[in-house]
Structure 1
Amino acid sequence: MTGATEITPELLRGWPPPPVSDDGDKEVRGRVLVLAGGAQVAGATLLTAVAALRAGAGKLQIGAPRSLAPALALAVPEARVFPAAETGTGELSPDAAADLAEALQRCDAAVIGPGMLDEGSAGELALRLLEGDGPAVVVDAAAMRGLADDPARARLRGGRMVLTPHAGEMAALTGRTKAQIQADPLAAARSAAADLKAVVALKGAVTFVVTPDGAAWRHEGGAVGLATSGSGDVLAGIIAGLLARGASPAQAAAWGVFVHGQAGVRLSRRIGRLGFLARELLEEIAPVLDALEGGAGGG
């Protein structure tokens, strides 16, 4: 099997997401549902949700633990917020799947897991939401653990799922050690993508995007400062926003990884190699996308 194709501005310009006309309304750009965070990491919901809008999604919905819903509605005034069942520690409960089923069906893309800490609850919630027909879904962080526990249910999304693990999460997902993943990340990503029938974006200094049939791309043009709290939440949101706009899972992952990396490069130049914040990435998403989609370059 061949290696991975480099993700470059030229590659992406030849593989653009569905165009948005100047007179297109928000319905055309799709609706995203964000299920993230909890009492201890509530900010992850904000980072993921705003990133989806910055990537061009037209409408935003958030499924929030009941106790956090009012605060999130104020923090993200662009969103419609659905209060849902929560666990004793203030995260979304698996029972929230019933509360959010109708909202999920009305969406064009969803993201589950950023900022969640309870792997058991997050994983079961993801599995319940993956059952039956529904939109493309980005599964991140703690929510990925449930896929390893019940891969047959995880496969039900049939290629309309994007996983965004780092090496440690990939180790938990596949039952390998972190060292084994780091020794051959492309092979690990290909194995997981084929097993779970998902697009995998395996994050690292070099990030690999792999489809279930083994097609692969690599990106290594990011910034070291991207290795910071909340950065992965932003990436998950970008990918979900692109999915809502009509991009395919592989396309959304490849574009999302590049845009995220270039946002970090821009902040490195403006602020410094280290020390910029995940929330600052949000302001860079639209300019990077605009440059790419307008043909002026991503840097």
Structure 2
Amino acid sequence: METPVSHAHMISIDATALRGWPLPMPSSEGDKEQRGHVLVLGGSREMPGAVILAATAALRAGAGKLTIATGASVAQLVALAMPEARVIGLRETPEGGFTVDAIDALDPLAGKIGAILIGPGMQDETATAALVRALLPRLEDCAIVLDANAMGIVRNPDRADDAAPFRFAVPVILTPHAGEMAHLSGQEKADIAADPVPVASHAARDWNAVLALKGARTIIAAPDGAMWQHEGGNVGLAISGSGDVLAGIIAGLAARGATLAQATCWGVALHARAGERLAERMGLLGYLARELAAEIPSLLEQLTQG
């Protein structure tokens, strides 16, 4: 099935659009490798839970194999919380990031993973940018999702002030909300929220990224000019950890073989629908980000079967 996009207008992501854009499915004899191997890189002493939320969501989205790379100070905690995962402990900077020698620990995985999510719970934007910059050439054969602090590479914080404008050599996925987009672009948050379409479109083109500009109306833009929008979810999704779950869903779908745009559009829709389900059962406010991922498998089944 061809990607349902149009360069003449924006496609609304609804059940009909999703069913016309089916996700890759493993064969009935497929093993965990065929379902896709996802690596989640993130976490810190202050925010170890972010990688747990993201990694859980990646598995709930259908990925078959999970590796987590996180700070050595919290690696054992994360391993106990995620018995499904292999957990790698990385050396940390004093500010809570990872040192560039993390490359040595991650290099052996480069040819084995289908998708990598970098950013949930990471601190030290400068160290994170340096690590992402070093990783990118090694990861050109897998889907890359950058979230939270890892998106800061587009600002070149690890380079001199006269560094050239940043552009990814190979497209990646970025998932900023309006506040993060203001930080990345230098524009005002209020202006971005008021008119997100041109902001998302220009950033996707300039940075060579599939960009999901999150909000009550989420705009997804691709480097070639294709655009989608999603309206749905509820204010209950505006809670700590919700973005980590969304990024994990997207990474899990990409590990299964979805294209960058497809994984992003499906991920945004699934995340919103999970919030709607929880609000129906529990109320609009008060459900937790950790509860979102459990809704994903049945939503996938529902949207797949019609």
Pick the TM interval, shorter chain.
over 0.9
Q: Residue 194 of structure 2 aligns with which residue?
A: 183
**Residue 25 of structure 1, CA deviation:** 1.4
Quote the Cα distance in structure 2 between the aligned partners of 1:65 and 1:154. 28
Correspondence 1:155 to 2:168: yes
Quote the Cα distance in structure 2 between the aligned partners of 1:115 and 1:121. 14
**Residue 138 of structure 1, CA deviation:** 0.5
Q: CA RMSD in A?
A: 1.6
Counterpart selection for 1:101 from 97, 101, 107: 107
Correspondence 1:280 to 2:291: yes
Tell me the secondary structure at the aligned position of residue 246 of structure 2: helix
Tell me the secondary structure at the aligned position of residue 22 of structure 1: coil
Counterpart selection for 1:169 from 165, 170, 180: 180
Letter in 2 for 1:194: R
Letter in 1 for 2:123: L
Letter in 1 for 2:195: D
Q: Residue 262 of structure 2 aligns with which residue?
A: 251
Quote the Cα distance in structure 1 between the aligned partners of 2:166 and 2:194. 29
Quote the Cα distance in structure 2 between the aligned partners of 1:219 and 1:151. 33
**Residue 153 of structure 1, CA deviation:** 6.0
Q: Residue 146 of structure 2 aligns with which residue?
A: 139
Quote the Cα distance in structure 1 between the aligned partners of 2:164 and 2:204. 11
Tell me the secondary structure at the aligned position of residue 131 of structure 1: helix
Contact 2:38 2:252 in 1 (8 A): yes
Q: Residue 49 of structure 1 aligns with which residue?
A: 55
Counterpart selection for 2:44 from 20, 27, 38: 38
| TM-score normalised by structure 2 residue count | 0.91
**Residue 129 of structure 1, CA deviation:** 1.3
Counterpart selection for 1:11 from 8, 14, 17: 17
**Residue 3 of structure 1, CA deviation:** 4.1
Q: Residue 69 of structure 1 aligns with which residue?
A: 75
Counterpart selection for 1:238 from 249, 258, 261: 249
Structure 2, gaps ≥5 residues long: 1-6, 157-162
Q: Residue 192 of structure 1 aligns with which residue?
A: 203
Letter in 2 for 1:105: G
Could you say if the C-alpha distance between residues 19 and 53 of structure 1 is closer, same or farther in structure 2, counting changes exceeding 3 Å? same
Quote the Cα distance in structure 2 between the aligned partners of 1:294 and 1:14. 11
**Residue 105 of structure 1, CA deviation:** 2.9
Tell me the secondary structure at the aligned position of residue 57 of structure 1: coil
Among the aligned pairs, what percent are the same residue? Answer: 52
Counterpart selection for 2:305 from 287, 294, 298: 294
Q: How many residues align?
A: 293
Could you say if the C-alpha distance between residues 53 and 234 of structure 1 is closer, same or farther in structure 2, counting changes exceeding 3 Å? same
Tell me the secondary structure at the aligned position of residue 208 of structure 1: strand
Q: Residue 25 of structure 1 aligns with which residue?
A: 31
Quote the Cα distance in structure 1 between the aligned partners of 2:150 and 2:167. 11
Structure 1, gaps ≥5 residues long: none
Letter in 1 for 2:242: S
Contact 1:61 1:80 in 2 (8 A): yes
